[in-house]
């Protein structure tokens, strides 16, 4: 569904992404994990057309270079950026309505009622303005807004960033259901959640993919993954245990 070849991103003299290849197939959740500054966010921004890039991005065989940012969204390449970025002066329902505009013309996908089913805490908050929501509630709205855009591929940048364990579980519980219908490309520093929910994962360091495999493969190579991520091996062991318990 999504094919990236030789992707490169530079900011002046600084190269953030160095010729990486990524595929996301139907039925998959692919996770990019790595330390700060690895190039993960730049990768997603390039795929969705937010920054200039080299290499190719193809959505279901269509060259994305020929499409403007808004055309990519209408084609079903939907991006949930880091930081949520919901509209603070609009209430929850209105924020979701805004997202629905990108899905006009596609019949399959999630409705606003589906979003409230996925995120029950939002139901009593329909009329609450965005600025009055907690960080976890805002993240639910941000993901919900993307879902009603009827994505064919969903890009998510750090969906657990800054969330309490309660809201992290709620968001990932919903994404597990979403993944049954939509392929996901996920950027995440929370290795526990990434390996728990992904089909395949890649470790990104210095703009390059340095290690790739299934979630199980990477869990079995815990010490190597931990060394790339700059983590203590004991922490990696805890993550592997959590992964295997699921």
pLDDT surpassing 70 at residue 121: yes
**Average pLDDT estimate for 46-58:** 93
pLDDT surpassing 50 at residue 242: no
Q: Are 210 and 217 in contact (CB under 8 A)?
A: no
Q: Could you report the per-residue pLDDT of 206-241, keeping only the tens digit for each? A: 999 998 999 888 877 777 777 777 765 543 444 433
Quote the pTM value.
Answer: 0.88
**Average pLDDT estimate for 178-190:** 92
pLDDT surpassing 90 at residue 84: no
Banded model confidence at residue 100, pLDDT cuts 50, 70, 90: confident
Q: Rounded to an integer, what distance in angstroms lies between the CA atom of residue 47 and that of residue 182?
A: 17
Tell me how far CA of residue 18 lies from CA of 39, 42, 98, 209, in angstroms.
9, 11, 35, 9
Question: What's the mean pLDDT when you consider all of the chain?
Answer: 88
- Tally of CA atoms within 13 A in the half-sphere of 63 that contains its CB: 5
Q: Could you report the per-residue pLDDT of 135-175, keeping only the tens digit for each? A: 999 999 999 999 999 999 999 999 998 889 999 999 999 99
Q: Provide the pLDDT for residue 233.
A: 52
Q: Provide the pLDDT for residue 232.
A: 57
Radius of gyration of the chain (CA): 18
Q: Rounded to an integer, what distance in angstroms lies between the CA atom of residue 48 and that of residue 58?
A: 11
Q: Provide the pLDDT for residue 105.
A: 74
Q: Provide the pLDDT for residue 124.
A: 95
């Amino acid at each position: 569904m999504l094919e990236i070849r030789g992707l490169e991103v530079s900011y002046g003299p600084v190269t953030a992404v160095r010729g990486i290849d990524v595929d996301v197939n139907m039925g998959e959740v692919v996770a990019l994990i790595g330390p700060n500054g690895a190039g993960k966010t730049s990768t997603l921004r390039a795929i969705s057309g937010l920054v200039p890039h080299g290499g190719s991005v193809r959505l279901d065989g269509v060259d994305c270079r020929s499409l403007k940012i808004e055309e990519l969204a209408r084609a079903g390449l939907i991006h949930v950026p880091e930081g949520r970025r919901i509209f603070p002066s609009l209430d929850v329902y209105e924020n979701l309505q805004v997202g629905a505009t990108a899905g006009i013309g596609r019949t399959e996908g999630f409705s606003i009622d589906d979003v409230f089913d996925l995120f029950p805490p939002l139901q009593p908050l329909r009329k609450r303005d965005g600025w009055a929501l907690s960080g976890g509630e805002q993240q639910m709205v941000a993901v919900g807004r993307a879902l009603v855009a009827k994505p064919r591929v969903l890009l998510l940048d750090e969906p657990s960033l800054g969330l309490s364990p309660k809201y992290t579980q709620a968001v990932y519980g919903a994404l597990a259901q979403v993944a049954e219908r939509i392929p996901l490309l996920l950027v995440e520093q929370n290795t526990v959640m990434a390996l728990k929910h992904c089909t395949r994962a890649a470790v990104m360091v210095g703009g390059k993919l340095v290690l790739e495999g299934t979630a199980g493969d990477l869990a079995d190579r815990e010490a190597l993954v931990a060394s790339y991520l700059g983590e203590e091996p004991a922490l990696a062991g805890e993550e592997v245990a959590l992964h295997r318990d699921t």
